C-alpha cells in the first residue's frame, strides 16, 4: 500500500501534465508566429526590393541617355552653339526629373535599408540627384554662358562680359564640386558591376567639367584687374630658348612689353638680350649669398644667365635691374614661355603667317624657332654677315603671334588647355605684383618656385644649364629615374636619382652646324652642361657619381632655397650619354610619414624629360 498514490497526488500530477502540454502548445504557437512574421518580413523585403528594382530600371532608362547629353554640352558651349546646348539642358532636365521622381517614394527609402540591395539603390539615387542638380544649373546658366567674352575684338576684351561670365562659372564650379563630392562619397563596397560602371562614367564626366570650371573660376575673378580695369597694367613677356638650356628653360633672348588698359592690349616695346650691356664687371643687382655661391655672379653679369636659377622670382628681380638699366618702361608682371609652349598655343590659334615668309604652325614652331632659324639667317658659307637678322626674325614672329592672340581665338578653351599643359610642364611661368594673382599661383609650377615644405608633396629638382655657349641643346635629351623607400623605411627615408643626359647629335650633323649653333668654345657637336640637383626640403645629399661623360667637375655644392644642392659639370661628345646618380637622406629624426608623395621637377627641354618613380609600398 505504501507505493500507491493518494487521490490528492493524482490530481496534482494531472494538473502538471496539463500545464506541460499547454506550455508546449504555447511555445509552438510563438514559434509559428515568429516564423510567420519572418516569412511576412521576408516577403515584404522581397516585394520592396522588387518594386525598388523595377523603379531602378526606370531610373536607369532615364539616366542612360542623360550622361552623354550632359557630357556633350561643354563641347557645344565651346563651339558657340548656345541654342543647341540650351535645348540639351532642357532635355536633360526632363530625364533627371523622371529619374529623381522614382527615388522619392517611401518604398524606395525603406528599401535602401536592405543590406546590399540598399547600397545599390542609394548609389542610384545619388546619381539621379547629381544629374538633376547639373540639369538645374545648365537650364539656368547656359543661355548666359558665352565664351566670346574671352575673344578680343579689335585688340580689346569686353570686361563687362568677363564679369558676367565669372558669376556663371563660379556658380558652376560650386555646383559641380558638390556633385563630384556626392558621387565620390557613394559606398561602392557591395555595388553591382553595372552600378559601379555607371557611377564611374558619371564621375569621369562630372570631374572633367569640375576641373575646367575650378580652373577658370579663380582666373576670371582676377582677370579684369589683370586686363587693366581702372588702372593700366604692364607685362614683360620673356621667351626662353631651350636650345641653350637654363634651369628655368633657356636663354631669354627675346623680350616684349605689353600694356593692358581697360581690356585693350597693346604691344608697346620689344627687346633682345644682345642689346643690353652684357659682360659687366659685377652683377647688375646684388645677389643673395647662397645664389652667388652656387651659380657665381655670372648670373647677374650676363642677361642670358639670369634664368640659370630655378627660382623664377630671382630671375624677375635680376630682369627688373637690366630693364631699368636700359631705360625701358617699368613693368608690373612677368610672363615667361618657350617655343614648345607656343606650339601648344598654335593648336588653338591655327597657323600664323610671318612677315619673313614662313608660316608658323604647331608642327614646325619648335624646329623653326630653335634650330632652323640659325641655318637661315645671319650667316653665309660659315661666315657671320648679319648678327641682327635673327633678332629681326624673332621680333617679327613675336609681333605676328601677339597680333593673332589679340584679334581673337575661335576656341578659347583650347587655348586654356594649351596654357595648362605648358604650366604642367614648367614651360610657362608668371610672376605678379598683384597679391591676388600671386596667391592664386602659389604652390603651382606656374609660380616657378620649389615648394618650401614636404607636407603635401616631396619635390626634388634636377636642372640643366648649358656652359657650351652654344645652341646645341636642341639635340639633347634627358630622363630621370627616381626612387624612395619613404613608405617602407623605419627611420629617415632615402631618395635616389639616376639622371641620364644624352647628346644625340651625329658627327655628320655636327660638321654641318653653323657658327651660331656651335659657338666658339668647344669642338662642334660637344655639349658642356651643368647638372644641378636639389634635394627635398630638409634632406641632405649623401653621395653622387658620374659615368659615361668625357669629363666631369664638381663646380659647387651647398644650400639654396632651403635645400641641399650640388652642381656638377659634364662634357658629352656626339652620340654619348652621361649618367649622374645622386643619393639623398631625409633629415635626422624624420620618418617616411613626414614626407608627402615623391616627385622630381626638371628643366623644360626641347622634348619631354620623362621622370620614372619607384616608391615601394606607397600604393
Summarize pLDDT for 531-540 with one digit per residue, the tens. 999 999 999 9
Q: Where are the alpha helices (DSSP H) in 79-116?
A: 82-102, 106-111
CB proximity list for 568: less than 8 A, separation 6 or greater: 530, 531, 532, 533, 544, 546, 552, 553, 554, 555, 580
Helical axes 117-141 vs 193-226, angle rounded to 10°: 30
Give the three cell numbers for residue 420.
595648362
pLDDT tier at 33 (50, 70, 90 boundaries)? Answer: very low
Asked which of 193, 209, 226 is the last residue of a domain, the reply is: 226
Q: What is the mean pLDDT of the chain?
A: 83
> CA angle at residue 123 from 117 to 127, to 5 degrees?
145
- 53 falls within a domain: yes
pLDDT over threshold 50, residue 562: yes
DSSP element (H, E) containing 309:
none
Q: Has residue 444 been placed in a domain?
A: no
* Domains: count for the chain: 3
Q: What is the CATH number of the domain that holds 395?
A: 3.40.630
Look up the domain containing 543 and give its range. Answer: 451-614
Predicted local distance difference test score (pLDDT) of residue 597? 95
CA distances from 517 to 306, 377, 513 (A): 20, 12, 6
The string of DSSP codes covering 236-271 is EEEEEEEEEEETTEEEEEEEEEEEEETTEEEEEEEE
Q: Residues 290, 416: one domain?
A: yes
pLDDT band at 1 (very low <50, low <70, confident <90, very high): very low
Q: Which CATH number characterizes residue 546's domain?
A: 2.60.40
Q: Do 578 and 541 share a domain, yes or no?
A: yes
Pair (215, 345) in one structural domain: no
User: What pLDDT digit, counting tens, does each position of 77-93 carry?
Assistant: 766 677 787 888 888 78
Whether residue 59 is contained in a domain is answered as yes
**Do 228 and 261 meet the contact criterion of CB atoms below 8 Å apart?**
yes
- Residue 215 shares a structural domain with residue 136: yes
Lowest mean per-residue pLDDT among 68-72, 251-255, 279-283, 455-459: 68-72
Per the DSSP assignment, residues forming a β-bridge with 477 are: 502
Whether 168 shows a pLDDT value over 90: the answer reads no
Q: How confident is the model at residue 61 (pLDDT cuts 50, 70, 90)?
A: low
pLDDT computed for residue 540 by the predictor: 97
Asked if residue 39 has pLDDT above 50, the reply is no
Task: Tell me what pLDDT residue 9 has.
Answer: 54
297 and 176: one domain?
A: no
State mean pLDDT over 212-237.
86
Task: Provide the CA 533 distance to its chain's centre, in angstroms.
Answer: 23
What are the pLDDT digits (tens) for 426-479?
999 999 999 988 888 888 899 999 999 999 999 999 999 999 999 999 999 999
153 versus 245: the higher-pLDDT residue is 245
**Are 244 and 204 part of one and the same domain?**
no
Query: What are the residues whose beta carbons fall under 8 Å from the beta carbon of 113, sequence distance 6 or more?
Result: none
Q: Is 259 in contact with 233 (CB distance < 8 Å)?
A: yes
3-state SS class at 201: helix
Decide if 552 is inside a domain.
Answer: yes
Burial 51-80 (b: 16+ CB within 10 A, else e): ebeebbeebbebbeebbebbbebbebbbee
* pLDDT given at position 125: 77
DSSP per-residue letters across 567-590: EEEEEE-TTEEEEEEEEEEPPTT-
Residue 53 has pLDDT above 70, yes or no: no
Q: Hey, is 463 helix, strand or coil? A: strand
Q: How confident is the model at residue 383 (pLDDT cuts 50, 70, 90)?
A: low
pLDDT band at 341 (very low <50, low <70, confident <90, very high): very high
Measured between alpha carbons, how far is 402 from 409 in angstroms, rounded to an integer? Answer: 11
What is the mean pLDDT of the segment spanning 300-319?
97
Return the bridge partners of 557, or none: 566
Residues 112 and 142 grouped into a single domain: yes
Alpha carbon distance 617, 619 (integer Å): 6
Under 8 Å between Cβ of 609 and 502: no
Cβ-Cβ contacts under 8 Å for 525 (sequence gap 6 or more): 472, 503, 505, 507, 509, 510, 511, 513, 518, 573, 574
Query: Binning pLDDT at 50, 70 and 90, where does residue 12 land?
Result: low
511, part of any domain: yes
Q: Is the distance from CB of 49 to CB of 111 less than 8 angstroms?
A: yes
Q: Answer with the one of 205, 226, 247 that is the final residue of a domain.
A: 226
The answer to whether residue 123 is domain-embedded is yes
Last-in-domain residue among 198, 226, 254 = 226
User: At residue 30, does pLDDT exceed 50?
Assistant: no
Which helix (H) or strand (E) segment holds residue 316: the answer is: helix 312-325
Closest listed residue to residue 180, CA positions, set 150, 156, 210: 210
**Higher pLDDT residue, 524 or 133?**
524
pLDDT band at 408 (very low <50, low <70, confident <90, very high): low
Q: What is the pLDDT of residue 318?
A: 97
Residue 387 DSSP class? T
Can you give the pTM of this predicted structure?
0.80
- Asked if 432 and 460 sit in the same domain, the reply is no
Q: What is the pLDDT of residue 83?
A: 79
If DSSP codes are grouped into helix, strand and coil, which group holds residue 524?
Answer: coil
pLDDT at 496 over 90: yes
C-alpha cell at 199: 557611377
pLDDT at 465: 98
- Chain centroid to CA 38: how far? 56
Cβ atoms 173, 145 nearer than 8 A: no
Q: By the 8 A CB rule, do 272 and 239 touch?
A: no
- Claim to verify: residue 208 and residue 308 sit in the same structural domain: no
CA gap 112, 92 in Å, rounded: 26
Residue 38 lies in a domain: yes
Q: What is the largest CA-CA distance in the chain?
A: 149
Segment 115-125 shows an average pLDDT of 70
Residue 510's Cα: distance from chain center in Å?
A: 37
- Does residue 81 lie in a domain region? yes
pLDDT band at 64 (very low <50, low <70, confident <90, very high): confident
Interatomic CA distance for residues 294 and 68, integer angstroms: 55
**Residue predicted with more confidence, 481 or 10:** 481
Query: Mean per-residue pLDDT for 241-247?
Result: 96
Task: Please tell me the distance from the alpha carbon of residue 459 to that of residue 197, in angstroms, as a whole number.
Answer: 35
CB 81 within 8 A of CB 87: no
Where is average pLDDT lowest: 40-44, 255-259, 362-366, 572-576?
40-44
- Clarify whether residues 260 and 135 are in a common domain: no
CB neighbours (10 Å) of residue 40? 10
Pick from 41, 177, 167, 164: nearest CA to 110: 41
Claim to verify: residue 78 and residue 155 sit in the same structural domain: yes
Q: Are residues 551 and 473 in the same domain?
A: yes
Let me know how long the chain is.
619
In this model, does residue 137 exceed pLDDT 70?
yes
Amino acid at each position: 500500500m505504501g507505493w500507491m498514490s493518494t487521490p490528492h497526488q493524482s490530481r496534482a500530477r494531472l494538473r502538471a501534465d496539463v500545464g506541460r502540454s499547454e506550455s508546449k502548445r504555447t511555445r509552438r504557437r510563438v514559434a509559428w508566429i515568429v516564423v510567420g512574421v519572418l516569412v511576412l518580413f521576408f516577403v515584404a523585403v522581397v516585394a520592396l526590393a522588387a518594386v525598388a528594382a523595377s523603379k531602378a530600371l526606370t531610373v536607369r532608362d532615364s539616366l542612360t541617355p542623360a550622361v552623354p547629353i550632359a557630357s556633350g554640352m561643354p563641347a557645344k558651349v565651346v563651339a558657340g552653339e548656345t541654342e543647341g546646348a540650351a535645348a540639351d539642358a532642357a532635355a536633360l532636365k526632363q530625364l533627371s526629373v523622371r529619374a529623381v521622381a522614382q527615388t522619392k517614394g517611401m518604398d524606395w527609402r525603406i528599401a535602401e535599408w536592405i543590406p546590399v540591395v540598399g547600397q545599390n539603390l542609394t548609389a542610384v539615387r545619388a546619381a539621379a540627384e547629381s544629374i538633376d542638380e547639373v540639369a538645374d544649373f545648365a537650364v539656368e546658366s547656359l543661355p548666359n554662358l558665352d565664351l566670346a567674352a574671352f575673344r578680343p575684338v579689335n585688340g580689346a576684351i569686353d570686361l563687362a562680359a568677363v564679369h558676367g561670365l565669372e558669376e556663371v562659372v563660379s556658380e558652376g564650379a560650386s555646383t559641380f564640386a558638390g556633385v563630384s563630392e556626392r558621387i565620390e562619397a557613394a559606398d561602392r563596397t557591395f555595388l553591382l558591376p553595372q552600378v559601379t560602371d555607371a557611377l564611374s562614367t558619371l564621375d569621369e564626366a562630372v570631374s572633367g567639367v569640375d576641373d575646367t570650371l575650378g580652373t577658370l573660376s579663380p582666373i576670371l575673378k582676377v582677370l579684369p584687374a589683370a586686363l587693366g580695369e581702372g588702372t593700366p597694367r604692364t607685362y614683360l613677356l620673356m621667351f626662353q630658348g631651350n636650345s641653350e638650356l637654363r634651369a628655368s628653360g633657356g636663354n631669354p633672348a627675346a623680350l616684349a612689353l605689353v600694356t593692358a588698359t581697360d581690356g585693350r592690349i597693346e604691344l608697346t616695346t620689344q627687346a633682345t638680350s644682345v642689346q643690353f650691356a652684357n659682360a659687366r664687371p659685377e652683377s647688375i643687382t646684388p645677389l643673395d649669398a647662397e645664389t652667388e655661391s652656387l651659380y657665381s655672379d655670372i648670373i647677374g653679369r650676363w642677361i642670358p644667365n639670369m634664368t640659370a636659377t630655378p627660382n623664377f622670382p630671382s630671375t624677375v628681380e635680376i630682369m627688373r635691374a637690366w630693364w631699368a638699366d636700359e631705360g625701358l618702361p617699368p613693368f608690373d608682371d612677368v610672363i615667361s614661355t618657350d617655343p614648345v609652349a607656343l606650339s601648344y598655343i598654335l593648336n588653338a590659334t591655327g597657323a600664323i603667317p610671318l612677315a619673313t615668309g614662313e608660316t608658323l604652325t604647331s608642327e614646325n614652331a619648335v624646329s623653326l624657332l630653335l634650330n632652323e632659324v640659325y641655318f637661315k639667317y645671319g650667316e653665309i658659307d660659315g661666315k657671320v654677315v648679319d648678327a641682327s637678322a635673327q633678332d629681326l626674325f624673332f621680333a617679327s614672329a613675336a609681333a605676328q603671334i601677339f597680333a593673332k592672340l589679340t584679334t581673337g581665338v575661335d576656341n578659347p578653351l583650347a587655348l586654356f588647355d594649351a596654357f595648362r599643359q605648358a604650366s604642367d610642364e614648367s614651360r610657362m611661368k608668371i610672376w605678379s605684383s598683384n597679391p591676388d594673382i600671386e596667391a592664386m599661383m602659389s604652390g603651382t609650377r606656374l609660380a616657378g618656385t620649389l615648394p618650401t615644405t614636404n607636407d603635401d608633396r616631396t619635390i626634388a629638382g634636377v636642372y640643366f644649364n648649358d656652359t657650351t655657349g652654344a645652341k646645341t641643346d636642341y639635340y639633347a635629351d634627358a630622363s630621370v629615374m627616381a626612387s624612395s623607400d619613404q613608405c617602407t623605411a623605419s627611420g629617415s627615408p632615402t631618395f635616389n636619382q639616376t639622371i641620364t643626359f644624352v647628346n644625340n647629335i651625329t658627327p655628320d650633323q655636327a660638321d654641318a652646324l653653323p657658327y651660331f649653333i656651335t659657338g666658339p668654345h668647344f669642338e662642334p657637336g660637344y655639349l658642356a652642361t651643368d647638372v644641378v640637383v636639389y634635394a627635398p626640403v630638409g634632406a641632405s645629399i649623401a653621395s653622387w657619381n658620374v659615368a659615361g661623360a668625357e669629363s666631369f667637375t664638381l663646380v659647387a655644392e651647398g644650400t639654396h632655397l632651403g635645400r641641399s644642392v650640388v652642381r656638377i659639370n659634364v662634357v658629352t661628345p656626339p652620340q654619348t650619354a652621361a649618367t649622374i646618380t645622386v643619393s639623398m637622406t631625409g633629415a635626422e629624426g624624420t620618418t617616411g610619414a613626414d614626407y608627402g608623395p615623391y616627385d622630381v621637377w626638371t628643366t623644360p627641354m626641347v622634348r619631354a624629360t620623362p621622370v620614372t618613380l619607384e616608391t615601394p609600398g606607397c600604393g
